[in-house]
Amino acid sequence: MSRFPARCALLMLLLLPCGAFAAGLPSVTATPAAGGGTQYSLNVEVLLLMTLLTVLPALLLSMTAFTRIIVVLGLLRQALGTNQTPSNQILVGLAMLLSFFVMSPVLQKVYEQGARPYMDGTMSFEPALAAGARPLRGFMLAQVRDADLLTFAKIAGHGPYQTPDDIPFTVLAASFVTSELTTAFQIGFLLFIPFVVIDLVVSSVLMSMGMMMLSPMLVSLPFKLMLFVLVDGWSLVMGMLAASFHAAT
């Protein structure tokens, strides 16, 4: 029984450094800012920044030009029949570079209207976030089809919107992704047509010559590559993808 007080004293000594460390941590506070927003402490801002970094891939896929571009490039590779050439890493790299090219005016506005005032201390976090999101909303609205927007608004149970600012962000994001997939498949259909024609011609010639054991895809692949190179296909496809996006209003 005499050992019990000694053990309690030893446990309290071990817990003293932990208590001192917790007491030295800065408190998490949120105070009203002068511009009508809320000024958070450094801990909350770091937490929000880390959360944003974790969802950054999803934002890149769903709210930028990346979705349309990567889908079209994937369909183009299938139309050529080159299997894994170019590789997935190359297609993703091309899609990201072209996405940055298309989104550069929008990103510049996001930086000037939201990020720079917040870093300079002239605007609190919430107004800066709203100001930075405004150019991105304008870009997404310029690409959204009216039918997709009405569909998701009906599913959400919302009435007609008087102004673009009244559209909830969830409805806008879902409509944007759906519109991007629809546009990407339309472009992919147009890209498939000349290569399908080459496959049909090669297949018909091989059938007429009685060479049924020879794969038509093996014979048509050089002709498709030659046609694609002669018409400067990569330049046409990349230029067409960049020009297919509407300017933000």
- Segment 92-118, tens digit of pLDDT: 899 989 988 988 888 888 888 877 877
Structure tokens, 211: 């060479």
For the chain, percent of residues with pLDDT exceeding 70: 76
Residue 246 has pLDDT above 70, yes or no: yes
Contact (CB, 8 A) for 233 and 79: no
CA torsion angle 37 111 55 180 (round to 10)? 120
Q: Coil, helix or strand for 38?
A: strand
Comparison of pLDDT for 5 and 59, the residue scoring more: 59
Q: Closest Cα partner for 103 from 50, 143, 71?
A: 143
Q: Closest Cα partner for 130 from 142, 144, 143, 118?
A: 118
Residue 88 has pLDDT above 70, yes or no: yes
- Provide the pLDDT confidence category of residue 58 given band limits of 50, 70 and 90: confident
Residue 62 and residue 70: Cα distance in Å, rounded?
Answer: 12
Express each pLDDT in 22-44 by its tens digit.
Answer: 444 444 455 555 555 555 455 66
Comparison of pLDDT for 215 and 22, the residue scoring more: 215
Residue 72 has pLDDT above 90, yes or no: yes
- Provide the pLDDT confidence category of residue 46 given band limits of 50, 70 and 90: low
Average pLDDT score over residue span 171-192: 91
> For the chain, percent helix, then strand, then coil, each to nearest 5?
75, 0, 20
- Provide the pLDDT confidence category of residue 189 given band limits of 50, 70 and 90: very high
| Whole-prediction pTM | 0.73
Segment (H or E) for 39: strand 38-40
